[in-house]
């Protein structure tokens, strides 16, 4: 009620339980009289710097009228650091305290903003103000309202903050780490932001980490083949980047230590292999660089005498097939233009 001073009771939330996803306990403290006519209007996504009266240990009053019906995040920060401002409460037009859902972060995590989730109605007037208890001191902070989702049947949903995507689970908590959403897997870092592109993720503190790739800009974990910056990579069903030998659909491929698929010649553990332009390992006869080579059934390059199709061939130490006259172990042999020995 504009211009009317109202005495209200404030519920002070015990932050630790809320931040960690537990139940929120409450106690009652006195609230100084509040003059709604002096409230500063705050627009959606508008960030304000809130000054605090040091003597009263309370901040200025702000008014907010939502543009949507649904869930909003009341977010606070201090400088470039996250900040759960103690005693930040939201009130309806009659200064009745509103119940929040779970806190959306904890002080141990490295996110710039943090705060609570509220269900608000479009066009209605709400007020926000910070006042601390005797054990909690309020200091200057930044404040803004961000619309999350209109789905009031649940608190699930995506929200973008400063060009980063975040996801809130059914309790209103920000996702962190691995999460399956719909039919896709996503990864949310220590700052709770959705990962995109290359990410090296550890399974434990002493683990060196495994490379994954998350779609840009959608963020879901990639599996199977993926062309990245002109190179092909393969990601297992678990999302882990393949390295070394990998059988895919009955064909063998080889991936470098950086994960890119090999084509052409490759020496692996002392043996030479040839990989076609599509990356699959070659076997049998193969023309490459103007010469003919023969790859055994296991892909290794053949050298020396080769008996194939009832005919004799000879492949030198570099693997290429001989044609014309060639002295082998002191004996002169003649090979025709197809490499077939005419005097075996």
pLDDT digits (tens, 9 = 90+) for 171-226: 567 788 999 988 999 999 988 899 999 999 998 888 899 999 999 989 999 999 99
The SS3 call for residue 104 is: coil
pLDDT at 6: 25
pLDDT at 104: 43
User: What pTM value is reported for the model?
Assistant: 0.59
pLDDT at 146: 74
pLDDT at 168: 77
Calpha distance 75→90 (Å, rounded): 12
The SS3 call for residue 253 is: strand
pLDDT at 322: 98
pLDDT at 68: 85
Please name the residue ranges forming H helices in 7-62. Answer: 15-19
pLDDT at 116: 67
pLDDT at 15: 27
Give per-residue pLDDT as tens, 244-261.
999 999 999 999 999 999
Split at pLDDT 50, 70, 90, the class of 156 is: low
Give per-residue pLDDT as tens, 68-96.
887 777 777 766 554 455 556 677 888 77
CB 50 within 8 A of CB 117: no
Burial class (CB in 10 A: 0-12, 13-18, 19+), 272: middle
pLDDT at 148: 63
> In the predicted model, what is the mean pLDDT of residues 18-23?
29
Give per-residue pLDDT as tens, 162-173.
778 888 776 567
pLDDT at 4: 29
CB 264 within 8 A of CB 272: no
- Which is nearest to 173 in space by CA: 108, 109, 100, 117? 117
Give per-residue pLDDT as tens, 117-140.
777 889 999 888 765 544 455 567
Calpha distance 118→170 (Å, rounded): 13
Tokens of 184: 């896709």
Give per-residue pLDDT as tens, 259-288.
999 999 999 999 999 999 999 999 999 999
Give per-residue pLDDT as tens, 4-19.
222 222 222 222 223 2
Tokens of 4: 């009317």
- Which is nearest to 145 in space by CA: 41, 45, 39, 40? 45
Mean pLDDT of the chain: 79
pLDDT at 120: 85
Split at pLDDT 50, 70, 90, the class of 105 is: very low
Split at pLDDT 50, 70, 90, the class of 115 is: low
Calpha distance 69→249 (Å, rounded): 50
Which residues, including other chains, have CB under 8 Å from residue 240's CB and lie 6 or more apart? Answer: 210, 211, 212
Give per-residue pLDDT as tens, 37-57.
888 888 888 888 877 776 666
pLDDT at 9: 25
Calpha distance 130→58 (Å, rounded): 6
């Amino acid at each position: 009620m504009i211009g009317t001073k109202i005495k209200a009771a404030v519920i002070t939330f015990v932050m630790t339980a809320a931040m960690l996803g537990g139940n929120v306990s409450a106690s009652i403290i006195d609230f100084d009289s509040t003059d709604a006519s002096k409230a500063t209007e705050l627009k959606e996504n508008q960030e304000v710097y809130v000054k605090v009266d040091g003597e009263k240990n309370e901040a200025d009053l702000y008014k907010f009228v939502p543009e949507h019906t649904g869930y909003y995040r009341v977010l606070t920060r201090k400088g470039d650091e996250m900040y759960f401002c103690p005693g930040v409460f939201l009130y309806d037009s009659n200064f009745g305290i509103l119940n929040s859902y779970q806190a959306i972060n904890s002080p141990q995590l490295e996110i710039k903003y943090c705060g609570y989730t509220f269900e608000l109605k479009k066009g209605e007037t709400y007020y926000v103000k910070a006042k601390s208890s005797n054990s909690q001191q309020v200091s200057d902070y930044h404040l803004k309202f961000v619309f999350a989702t209109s789905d009031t049947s649940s608190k699930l949903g995506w929200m973008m903050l400063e060009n980063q995507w975040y996801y809130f689970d059914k309790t209103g908590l920000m996702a962190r780490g691995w999460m399956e959403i719909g039919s896709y897997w996503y990864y949310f870092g220590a700052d709770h932001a959705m990962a995109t592109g290359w990410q090296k993720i550890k399974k434990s503190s002493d683990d060196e980490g495994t490379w994954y790739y998350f779609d840009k800009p959608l963020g879901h974990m990639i599996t199977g083949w993926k062309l990245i910056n002109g190179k092909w990579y393969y990601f297992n069903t678990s999302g882990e980047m393949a390295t070394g030998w990998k059988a895919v659909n009955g064909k063998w491929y080889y991936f470098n230590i950086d994960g890119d698929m090999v084509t052409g010649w490759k020496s692996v553990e002392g043996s030479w292999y040839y990989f076609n332009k599509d990356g699959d390992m070659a076997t049998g006869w193969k023309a490459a660089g103007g010469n003919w080579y023969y790859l055994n059934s296991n892909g290794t390059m053949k050298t020396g005498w080769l008996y194939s199709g009832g005919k004799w061939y000879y492949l030198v130490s570099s693997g290429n097939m001989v044609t014309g006259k060639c002295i082998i172990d002191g004996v002169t042999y003649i090979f025709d233009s197809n490499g077939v020995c005419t005097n075996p």
